[in-house]
């Protein structure tokens, strides 16, 4: 029985050593991959720096000015190229566009007998029903949703 336990212990130690070596070599492989990626990143950053330097060289104002004079037939802007506001044509009268839109989407007016509050319409406080509803109105409207005979609880 002791020999069996010794054999199991030796096999366990060999398995643990094999696992440790596999972890070690996997770690070395991953470290090599990280090193390759860092080297590639450094090369790309250097390439970006070279491209930025070339861009700055190509977009120098004195170089661009010489290229424009050599390849484009441009004239300097003079006062004869400028216009006055009075020379512009008058804007065509489009009319009241908002009024036309409101008239097109207006709902039919309520009948005169339906202006009184009922079960489905809330009652307005203190006779404000005659006041027009406009967006520029400065008066405060209060809507009462309870009937006056209902007691508060």
Q: Please state the domain count of the chain.
A: 1
- Determine whether 124 is exposed, middle or buried from the number of CB atoms within 10 Å of its CB (0-12, 13-18, 19+): middle
Q: Model-level pTM?
A: 0.39
C-alpha distances in Å from residue 128, one per residue of 123, 142, 148:
10, 9, 17
Per-residue model confidence (pLDDT) at position 90? 87
pLDDT at 139 > cutoff 60: no
User: What 3-state class would DSSP assign to 143?
Assistant: strand
100-115 pLDDT, tens digit each? 888 888 776 655 555 5
Is 135 a domain residue? no
Of 152, 128, 132, 122, give the one whose Cα is nearest residue 141. Answer: 128
Per-residue model confidence (pLDDT) at position 137? 52
Percent of residues, the chain, with pLDDT higher than 70:
70
Lowest mean pLDDT among 51-55, 62-66, 69-73, 91-95: 91-95
The confidence band for 13, taking pLDDT boundaries of 50, 70 and 90, is: very high
Is 54 a domain residue? yes
In whole angstroms, what is the distance from residue 15 CA to residue 107 CA?
A: 88
Is 124 a domain residue? no
Is 136 a domain residue? no
C-beta of residue 143 within 8 angstroms of C-beta of residue 124: yes
- Determine whether 123 is exposed, middle or buried from the number of CB atoms within 10 Å of its CB (0-12, 13-18, 19+): middle
Phi, psi of 123 (to 5 degrees): -85, 135
C-alpha distances in Å from residue 105, one per residue of 97, 98, 102, 132:
12, 11, 5, 19
Is 87 a domain residue? no
Is 146 a domain residue? no
Q: Which domain holds residue 38?
A: 2-71
């Amino acid at each position: 029985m002791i020999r069996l336990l010794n054999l199991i212990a030796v096999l366990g130690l060999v398995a643990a050593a094999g696992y440790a070596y596999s972890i070690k070599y996997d770690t070395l492989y991953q470290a090599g991959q990280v090193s390759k990626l860092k080297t590639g990143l450094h090369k790309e950053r250097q390439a970006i720096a070279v491209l930025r330097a070339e861009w700055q060289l190509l977009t120098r104002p004195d170089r661009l000015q010489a290229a424009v004079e050599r390849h484009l037939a441009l004239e300097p802007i003079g006062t004869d190229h400028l216009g006055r506001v009075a020379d512009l044509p008058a804007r065509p009268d489009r009319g009241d566009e908002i009024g036309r839109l409101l008239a097109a989407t207006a709902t039919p007016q309520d009948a005169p007998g339906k202006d009184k509050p009922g079960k489905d319409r809330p009652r307005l406080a203190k006779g404000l029903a005659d006041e027009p509803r406009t967006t520029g109105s400065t008066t405060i409207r209060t809507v009462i949703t309870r009937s006056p005979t209902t007691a508060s609880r």
